[in-house]
Amino acid sequence: MILQTRGLCKRFGGVHVARNIDFGIEAGEIHCLIGPNGAGKSSLFRLILGAHQPDSGTILFKDEDVTRLPPFARIRKGMSVKFQVPGIFKDLSVRQNLVISFQHHLHGHDLEATIQRVVAFAGLEGLEGKAAGTLSHGRQQWLEIGMAVGVEPSLLLLDEPTAGMSPEETRQTGEMLRVLNAQGVTILAVEHDMSFVQQIADRVTVLHFGEIFAQGSVQEIISHPGVADIYLGASDD
Amino acid sequence: MTGQGKSGPGVGPSLIDATPRQQRNTLALWLSRLEGPQTMGRGRGFWSVLALAVLAAAIYPMFVDGWTVGNTAYFLVWTFMAMGLGVIWGYAGSLSFGQTAFFGLAGYGYGVLTLNFGAAYGFTLVALLLAVGLAVLLAVVLGYFMFYGRVQGVFIGIVTLSVTLVFQAFMAQTAGPEWAIGAARLNGFNGMSGMPPLTIPWPGGDVLLYADIALYYVLLGLMLVVYLGLRMLLNAPFGNVLVAIRENPERAEMLGYDVRRYQLLGFVLGGALAGLSGVLYTAWGQYITPSSMGITAAALPVIWVAFGGRKDVTATLIGTLAMIFLYQWLTIYGSQYAIVAMGVILVLTVLFAPEGIVLSLMRWLSARLTPAGGRP
């Protein structure tokens, strides 16, 4: 297991966003986190990152307890994240975005080579000098994925990576993630687009009211009667 | 080009595009570090203009009397505080309204030290370092509690302004004889005076830097060193991180940067530069009063930097010198009018060129001078 949570609990006032969550991600898999709105997907995501502190429970990353570490320290240990709303530096150039993302572990020719590689990977050739905020929505998402993968993370966390993308952009993003996964990156994606989940996921965890409702392969989840009730049935009309 | 790197640094004639042959040249490599996406001005054109400006500043004392040169030195005194504020506010995105706290603390520190220990054996230079050290200490303590306490946005301005006003109020009530540190009377609202000027030990007689030509050259040199040093620092990874924090602090943290630490470092750098200005001011006029930490004094650097353009150190420097010159010129007609005029300029800047008037002019000029699609 590259990441494990044990008995993770978090409340905001009277709302339990995480109830006793025991959750794990195997190294090398693409794991999708699904569930209806308000199920606690984003909260679990933020707990894993350290943006929220749990009320109780522990988080192990590569067998090390990271529960009390601030987000930047978890990133330094090999996590990397892409947010739902493009978390890029909009007024800075694409190139500057990438330089800032990679400069703490790469310098000189290595930095340059990585920037070129990521630019090609994210389909941003010829746009290096453009202000990132002027790119199309899909390209902004890809730029952020590029920023997240250039650091060669062992665990890539994606919060709705295809939000706001066209079907074609969504398909390309799926291919992008498959390529990354083949290169050895473990991926955890919060997602609600089931066709996208079917395209990429090795395993799926379903959250409901802050609890793990079901877990298994895509086929198991799709054929799970309860899941269809709480989630798929509700959104598949 | 733009101060925020709207286009990639690989475009256009630039020292940063040094060919491999040139890169072997150490000088070219050092020069290339002066340029980058975080500062405007690059290539032969810019550096030629800068060299001419420095040359003009260097020969200027030959054409005017010593008093006028000493007065011009006074303009230079303030540039350090302004450039430091530019780092904290313009680059790191935290508006400090209390740089004068560091200015005043270091100024009084220099006064207390030199009034007690004199100027022999180059002690004034030691006092300069110690006084700037005091400012650094204050910046470390204040900055630690602000940034590690997650104080953000406008509250940084409120906290820093409060600190400088507390300092002013405290120093203003130190009129009695009981308020003395060794031989140095604090003197309440009238302030402290009579401290020695900066004195450079020299074989055959110390060089006393009164408000005159020698001090002017020292300040000019110091200003140039700080300006070029800041350019290097801001274009180095450190400057990139400051800009990243300004643009999107959460993303900066999620890229693995300890945002609080970088904010603190930027704040301490700005505090040190404000302290340097405070010492130089005290040594220049051989006095310092609590009003140098008052609300008017605290507001002026903010106006200079806003007028110049906080996001570019060159624009900050030019804008500050222009505003201090204008302020002094207007003061001839009455200091109250001068303050009102500063306020009007601030309002006009915010309305018509929120990024700064000098910076907007520089961008306009560089767009005119650069072929379409390129970058100056």
Q: What is the DSSP string of A125-192?
A: TT-TTSBGGGS-HHHHHHHHHHHHHTT--SEEEEESTTTT--HHHHHHHHHHHHHHHHTT-EEEEE--
- Mean pLDDT over residues B336-347, rounded? 92
Residue A210, pLDDT above cutoff 80: yes
What pLDDT, on the 0 to 100 scale, is given for residue B7?
Answer: 37
Residue A58, pLDDT above cutoff 50: yes
Interface membership of B17 toward A (CB under 8 Å): no
pLDDT band at B371 (very low <50, low <70, confident <90, very high): low
pLDDT digits (tens, 9 = 90+) for A126-158: 999 999 999 998 899 899 999 998 888 999 999
Q: How far is the C-alpha of B228 from the C-alpha of B205, rounded, in Å?
A: 32
Shortest CA gap B238–chain A (Å): 10
What pLDDT, on the 0 to 100 scale, is given for residue B21?
Answer: 52
Q: Between chains, do B247 and A103 touch, taking CB under 8 Å as contact?
A: no
Q: What is the DSSP string of B154-205?
A: HHHHHHHHHHHHHHHHHHHT--STT-EETTEE--GGG-EE-PPPEEE--TTS
Give the residue from chain A lying closest to B236, CA to CA: A103
**C-alpha torsion angle, residues B147, B149, B154, B155 (rounded to 10):** -130
Shortest CA gap B51–chain A (Å): 29
CATH number, residue A41: 3.40.50.300
Q: Which of A100, A107, A140 to mutate to test the interface with B (most CBs of B within 10 A)?
A: A100
Count of other CB atoms within 10 angstroms of residue B85? 25
Give the residue from chain A lying closest to B237, CA to CA: A103
Interface membership of B253 toward A (CB under 8 Å): yes
What pLDDT, on the 0 to 100 scale, is given for residue B15?
Answer: 41
Shortest CA gap A73–chain B (Å): 6
CB contacts under 8 A, B 97-136 vs A, are none
| Mean per-residue pLDDT of chain A | 90
Residue B96, pLDDT above cutoff 50: yes
Q: Which residue has the higher pLDDT, B152 or B372?
A: B152
Q: How far is the C-alpha of A115 from the C-alpha of A118, rounded, in Å?
A: 5
Q: What is the DSSP string of chain A?
A: --EEEEEEEEEETTEEEEEEEEEEE-TT-EEEEE-STTSSHHHHHHHHHTSS--SEEEEEETTEE-TT--HHHHHHTTEEEE-SS--S-TTSBHHHHHHHHHTTT--HHHHHHHHHHHHHHTT-TT-TTSBGGGS-HHHHHHHHHHHHHTT--SEEEEESTTTT--HHHHHHHHHHHHHHHHTT-EEEEE---HHHHHHH-SEEEEEETTEEEEEE-HHHHHH-HHHIIIIIHHH--
- Mean pLDDT over residues B336-348, rounded? 92
What pLDDT, on the 0 to 100 scale, is given for residue B14?
Answer: 40
Rounded to a whole number of angstroms, the distance between the first and last alpha carbons of chain B is 6
Within chain B, where are the H helices?
20-23, 26-33, 43-59, 66-85, 99-117, 123-147, 154-172, 213-235, 237-247, 249-253, 259-285, 295-308, 313-331, 335-352, 357-369
Q: Assess if residue A14 is contained within a domain.
A: yes
pLDDT band at B361 (very low <50, low <70, confident <90, very high): very high
Q: How far is the C-alpha of B297 from the C-alpha of A198, rounded, in Å?
A: 64
ipTM of the complex: 0.89
Q: Assess if residue A162 is contained within a domain.
A: no
pLDDT band at B13 (very low <50, low <70, confident <90, very high): very low
Interface membership of B241 toward A (CB under 8 Å): yes
Q: Assess if residue A175 is contained within a domain.
A: no
What pLDDT, on the 0 to 100 scale, is given for residue B372?
Answer: 52
Q: Assess if residue A102 is contained within a domain.
A: no
| Mean per-residue pLDDT of chain B | 90
pLDDT band at B24 (very low <50, low <70, confident <90, very high): low
Q: Between chains, do B240 and A90 touch, taking CB under 8 Å as contact?
A: no
Domain that holds residue A234: 1-77+190-237
pLDDT band at A32 (very low <50, low <70, confident <90, very high): very high
pLDDT digits (tens, 9 = 90+) for B40-59: 988 888 999 999 999 999 99
- Mean pLDDT over residues B240-249, rounded? 96
On chain A, the residues whose CB falls within 8 A of the CB of B1 are none
Residue B12, pLDDT above cutoff 70: no
Q: Between chains, do B256 and A104 touch, taking CB under 8 Å as contact?
A: yes
